[in-house]
Amino acid sequence: MKTPSQLAAVETINQDILVSASAGAGKTTVLIDRLIKRILVDKIPVSRILALTFTEAAAAEMKHRLQTEMHRKLAESFDPFLEEQLILLQTANISTIHSFCLTVVKNFGYVVNLNPKQVNNILDEATKVLYQKECLDKTFDHQISLSDTSAFIQTAQHFSSRSEDFSEFRNAILRINAVLSQQKNPQKWSQKILSLYEKRNKISELPEPVTQTFWEMMTLHAQQLDLQSKTVLRDASLLDNEKSVTEASLVCQWANVLFQAIKTRNLDSYNHALLMMATNPLSTIKSQADYNKLRDKLNKAIKAKANSFLSEAEYLQQLSNQHPLISKLLEMALDYNLRYDQKKKEMQCIDFDDMERFAFEILFNEQHQVYKQYQTQFDEIMVDEFQDTNQLQDAIISRVSRGSNIFRVGDVKQSIYKFRGAKPGLMRELSTKRDIKQLTLEHNYRSKQPIVEFNNQLFNALMNIDYFEDVYQQQDHVTPGKKSQFDDGHPVEINILMLDDEEMGENTESDDGDEGDFDEEKFKTETIEESFNDKVVRSNFIANRMHELRRKEKIAYRDMVVLVRSHALKEDLKAAFDETNIPYFIDSKSGFYQSAAISQVINVYRWITQPANEIALFGVLFSPFFDLSADQAALIALLNQKTKNWIESIKELHPEVYDTLMSLKDEFQYLSITESLNRIYSLNHFYDDFCNHQEKTNLDLLFEKAVGFDRNGIGGIYGFVSLIDKISDEKSSEAIPVNSEDDLVKVMTIHQSKGLQFKVVFYWSTNSNAIIDLKLPLIADEQLGLGIHTIQLPKRFKKVNLLRQIIEFKATKDELEEQIRVLYVALTRAQEKMIIVGSEKKPFTPKEISMLSIFEKIGTQGWILNALRHLDESLYSLNRLPIDGLRTVRLAIRQPEGNLPVYTKTNTLISKTIPSLKDQSYVPQIFVSRDLKPQQQGTLMHIALQRLPVLPFTTDQMDELNINLSETMKEHLIRYSSHPFTNDLYRFNVSHEVPFISKIDDQLVYGYIDMISESDETLTIVDFKTDRNVTPDLLIERHKHQLNTYVKAMELLSKKKIEAYLYSFDLNEYIRI
């Protein structure tokens, strides 16, 4: 049964509607129910409905669910109207907003002088990068060719001291263009931004968004000094030191003056109070180290603030001094924009962003009035995920509306696409308009009750902060919508792994710091990634916890997900999952071009076009194409010291590899890119035998890109490599082949998880909040302008300036608010279990939540821990856990250095590492899945044989190995240890994993022999086999060559009689070769 809000959302017509739907509130269901009702009940044809989503998948799902309901209704009773709508459904306007814009452009491109060929040719990303580079080159060439280059040279010197280095300058133009291209009128926006740098007498004369942000920034600084001074006063009072109490009280009074100055927007008063604080520093107290530390921090903070602030006149003078630089930057950005548009027109193509821009121009063209046709056509306009809309999109949606037929649904708390231009402020603004019907979906249908209420209370604390835009209002407090959500609920797990200095790496600072210990510079230097060992520890904890959930609670792998903030963390999880045999789907850490299979293929091209590229060459040699080992590479390197030629060295040691490389080099001179890719994919059966489902999907996508490259015919193989080098750093996602039925653990970034739900969610919390934009020489803000530093030439001294400070503050504030929203998305994905995994060096000291505490570098973990004081303790369990056994999951054995004799005609000695049975490292408990591959089973059996002591073996001894052998493996080992011939062999000197290198028939042969038993007269070789369903004859056929090689190698080493056996664990039988 629908709630009143749901009914209103479905039934209300002839009025604009805005539905606010928190995570799990069933907004998609409401959207589709309304769509079905409009068609089935109100008899509106699908051709008169426009439904817009933000992903192709969401649009396809909407169509599918609508189609299913139509079929169901038709099965109940025949309806000619409904049958007609079902036929028309596939051509319905249910699409992404970009697809709708493209339709507008295709139908009415003539309005803005676009021909059909241009509209139907969408630029691929690779070609787009080439065109942009070419146009940017021309923009710079044009500036250099001007008769007066003084402004250009001055601007170039601002970004680099080297006259030939334009890299940061070029990046600055691209960053400006990224904002410029999102504007309804780029020229007008440029003029507005440039006007910020005109001469003024008062800061108050600047536009309100600038002055408001300025005073918010001053408030943050005042909060810091106020909190620190109150902390010092408190400690001075406890010490009963009258002088220090008086000094601290005075600082507190001046801090109050700061707040009064902010309230009245009086900068002179603010600066005066700051000056008085700075000229009256606090004294130390003898033998009171803790107090003196707080006092030093406060004095330092006051001095830093006093030194950084200038008079009003100085601030404004700095702004006007930057006017020529900003003018030149905007001029060049507009020039580049124009050249890029001209290039696309010349090449008869458009790019992805053009779809919206041209649609906007068409719909706002009053001469042709195309918008009126759409206003007449659509009776219903529906917009999903409205919080992610940008200004152009919102203008387009409003333009095709009659003014009372837009149904918008979204959730500002889930707006996490700032990098795509999303403007959550649009939804915030609409939510205050009385002429729009405001509805809220009050229930959550996804999560168990403890998770629902945990998030209610957590984000009530984190989102209701003074000076921040986001609020968690009463209507955001959702309740479970189903009775089952109240059953079998679990508190949210907060697991904090206690690290020591080793895990924390070189930076062993406290995670939390002192009261008010906010340092702006740390935002520019801290990274959000944890140390290497910290990441290993967390990954191993997650892997072990997953095995525990699978064993004890029978939770399938497909029902578990790990959510991370960045792609880089995925590699550590891959390693942990590989070691513990957890099946997983994890896309590449940085995207498509950095994935393993793609990198291996690209290395082939790089070596062919750049024969001196040693990294590419050895990347090819180590890859599955040739699968050379590190030992083989070392021998090539040794020979290269003589030949001084890598290819000649490969030719001598591996002639078959040399022949293949030369063949590829010759063939690629005349093959197209697609033909050469086919050749690489077939090399050593690379595509079929060495690539998993994910890698094959990536290779297929690379092939599609190559088809486009061949079609454009730009530069052949050399152009292809050049293009890949230019775009390989882009953060494009891998192609995703996984579906919901695959029993795999999934690791996703939080952005990738949006809209999804999982029974069990592991959230990897962060320990810091780096704001990467602050490091950039130029920050572009749509409202506040272009923030560049003040550079004093020729010494290149960098000084603060008003607008840069304001823009940095706003960039920080906006990013932190979005990080809170990203945290909301992460913690609302779980249905049954929410597990937060963090780490710290020492117990965190909670602080009150405020703008100041959010600005501290404590990460999402610190925010959560700060908020716990506001949460019901029954909703969570806070566990601080030791990390014993979590540092590594690798089956590592320490190996001492030794010299292995290599018996050749010259009896050369080669340094080699020799495994030892007596010197083995401790291996922590590993939870190994029972679904082992044969190779993995063999590895575990070999490890067990190395570590087990004297015969006979027992299950207790095996359990102490900490590798969780299966019962079948244990049984096989006990049978082996009881075999009469095994006991005969163990009476003599037994060695396992014996390495050898030998030259046999003029070929260098190397390897490891599983076991050798050496008596006075005989060397007995044993090779262990875990093959199943075999016969002795079949084993001999498979492994005879291998054993004969071992025998030949040992004959060079020893004069003793050599015997060789296979031992089959499946047959419990020794088979003599």
Q: What are the beta bridge partners of residue 1019?
A: 1014, 1058
What CATH number was assigned to the domain covering residues 203-318?
1.20.120
Where in the chain are all domains bearing CATH 1.20.120? Answer: 203-318
- pLDDT tens digits, 101-136: 999 999 999 999 999 999 999 887 778 888 999 999
Least confident of 288-297, 530-539, 591-600: 591-600
**131 CB-side CA count, 13 A:** 22
- Given the candidates 3.30.420.40, 3.90.320.10, 1.10.10.10, 3.40.630.30, the CATH classification of the domain at 897-1072 is 3.90.320.10
Please state the pTM of the whole predicted model: 0.74
CATH no., domain 592-727: 1.10.486.10
Confidence at 887, pLDDT banded by 50, 70, 90: low
Residue with tokens 């575990």: 940
Q: Is the model more confident about 123 or about 725?
A: 123
Question: Which residues have CB under 8 Å from 117's CB, separation 6+?
Answer: 348
What residue spans in the chain does CATH classification 1.10.486.10 cover? 592-727
**For 346-402, what is each residue's pLDDT tens digit?**
999 999 899 999 999 999 999 999 999 999 999 999 999 999 999 999 999 999 999
Which is nearest to 104 in space by CA: 393, 427, 496?
Answer: 393
DSSP string, 962-979: SS---HHHHHHHHHHHH-
Nearest to 835 by CA among 938, 744, 786, 765: 765
Provide the pLDDT confidence category of residue 801 given band limits of 50, 70 and 90. confident
* pLDDT tier for residue 514 given thresholds of 50, 70 and 90: low
Q: Are 972 and 941 in contact (CB under 8 A)?
A: yes
Q: How far apart are CA 1050 and CA 999, in angstroms?
A: 11
Averaged over 678-683, what is the pLDDT? 89
Q: State how far the Cα of 421 lies from the Cα of 930, in Å rounded to an integer.
A: 48
Report CA-CA distances (Å) from 520 to 223, 523, 525, 531, 809: 14, 6, 9, 22, 9
Q: Identify the CATH assignment for 485-585+750-783+805-881 out of 3.40.50.300, 3.40.50.1390, 3.40.1390.30, 2.120.10.30.
A: 3.40.50.300
Query: Is 995:1008 a contact under the CB 8 Å cutoff?
Result: yes
pLDDT of residue 1023: 92
Q: Is 745 left (phi over 0), alpha (psi -120 to 50) or beta?
A: beta
Strand-strand pairing, 758-764 and 49-53: unpaired
Of 239-253, 357-371, 558-572, 861-875, the poorest mean pLDDT is in 558-572
**Span 853-865, pLDDT tens digits:** 999 889 999 999 9
pLDDT tens digits along 949-983: 767 888 878 877 766 678 888 889 999 999 999 98
Rg from Cα positions in the chain: 34
Asked whether the predicted pLDDT for residue 697 surpasses 90, the reply is no
Task: Identify the architecture of domain 4-121+352-441 in CATH.
Answer: 3-Layer(aba) Sandwich (3.40)
**Of 192-206, 638-652, 927-941, 989-1003, which one has max mean pLDDT?**
192-206
Q: Is the pLDDT of residue 504 over 80?
A: no
What the block records as the tokens of 444 is: 């959550």
| CA 579 – CA 797 distance, rounded (Å) | 51
Residue of higher predicted confidence among 627 and 870: 870
Lookup result for tokens 């306009």: 381
Tens of pLDDT, residues 13-52: 999 999 999 999 999 889 999 999 999 999 999 999 999 9
Mean residue pLDDT of the chain comes to 86
| More confident position, 89 or 772 | 89
For residue range 459-469, list pLDDT tens digits in order.
999 999 999 99
List the structure tokens of 699. Answer: 């290779």
**710 has a pLDDT exceeding 70:** yes
Q: Any bridge partners for residue 827, and if so which?
A: none
What pLDDT does residue 165 have? Answer: 85
Q: Distances from the Cα of 752 to the Cαs of 132, 700, 756, in angstroms?
A: 28, 21, 9
pLDDT of residue 505: 46
pLDDT digits (tens, 9 = 90+) for 899-916: 333 333 333 333 233 332
Domain with CATH 3.40.50.300 in the chain: 4-121+352-441, 485-585+750-783+805-881
pLDDT per residue over 992-1003, tens digit each? 878 776 666 656
- For 438, the enclosing helix (H) or strand (E) is strand 437-441
Give me the percent of the chain exceeding a pLDDT of 70: 87
pLDDT in tens, 266-301: 999 999 999 999 998 999 998 899 999 999 999 999
Return the pLDDT at 898: 37
**Of 516, 441, 306, whose CA–CA distance to 34 is shortest?**
441
Residue 774 has phi, psi (to 5 degrees) of: -65, -20
pLDDT computed for residue 739 by the predictor: 55
Which pLDDT band, with edges at 50, 70 and 90, does 1021 fall under? very high
**Where residue 509 falls among pLDDT bands split at 50, 70, 90?**
very low
Looking up tokens 């000076």, which residue turns up? 467
Phi first, then psi, for residue 13 (nearest 5°) are -135, 175
Task: Provide the 3-class DSSP secondary structure of residue 831.
Answer: strand
| CA 58 centroid distance within chain | 22
Element (H, E) at 615: helix 614-622
pLDDT in tens, 127-172: 888 899 999 999 999 999 999 999 999 999 999 888 778 999 999 9
Q: Report the alpha-carbon distance of residue 920 to residue 1034 in Å, rounded.
A: 35
Judge whether residue 512 has pLDDT over 60.
no
